[in-house]
A = this chain, B = another copy of it.
Amino acid sequence: MSRTRDQAPSARTTVKQTAKRADYETATLYQIIDEALVGTVSIAVDGQPFALPMMVARIDDHIYLHGSRTSRIIKHLTAGYEACIAFMLIDGIVVARSGMNCSANYRSAVVHGKGEAIEGAEKAELLHQITLALIPGSQGDYREHLPAELKATSLIRMPLNEAACKVRTGGPNDDKDDLDLPHWAGVIPLKHVYGEPIPAANLPEGIAKPDYALKYPLRD
């Protein structure tokens, strides 16, 4: 479902600092959101900023947040106010010959938009799809949602049509005059590695570790 994001960035998604690192490609945006699993959801309430890291699932060109119906951020988004959601993956520490040129390799995305609360049969189905977006390949391994769970949980959908990414890769960008200094320079790579699945202490005997856990994330 990836498509080229052909619209120009909006005023608030135009990257201004180190604009050379801006990336407005849809494929980049999708990869960052999918790998991050969590976004920091920011809202403004009475002129004050509030932010909370939340699980974020992407399905096609929307992202979905879910949470308790009583949560402040969920209530705020349900009421139709703006949110700004940021995603960040660090890929390495960049060591330069000067402190100011030290940096990090990273992939970040920032999404602006208003949420839409989803209810009814669509909510139940999308909550199921969200689990599969966060744990790909795990279909068939859960019981059905209970009415009380659906009642207590709100689901918010947000479009991805106002978003921008920034990506930094590669080695340090030192000043030309610093290249002969006797200081080490390079990148310390950071990898995010999923390990051997740990069965629940109360798992009945005879239930093998599934492929979706052994090979997480098991995408097509």
CA distance A2 to B83 in the complex (A): 35
Range, interface on chain A: 35 or more
A127 at the interface (CB under 8 A from B): yes
Residue of B nearest to A173 (CB): B200
Whether B188 contacts A143 by the Cβ 8 Å rule is no
Whether A143 contacts B98 by the Cβ 8 Å rule is yes
Whether B149 contacts A53 by the Cβ 8 Å rule is no
Whether B99 contacts A145 by the Cβ 8 Å rule is yes
A120 at the interface (CB under 8 A from B): no
CA distance A127 to B99 in the complex (A): 8
Chain A residues in the interface with B (C-beta under 8 A): 12, 16-17, 37-38, 40, 42-45, 47-53, 55, 67-68, 70-72, 82-88, 90, 93, 95-100, 102, 104, 106, 108, 110, 127-128, 130-131, 134-135, 138, 141-143, 145-146, 149, 153, 171-172, 174, 178-204, 207-210, 213, 216
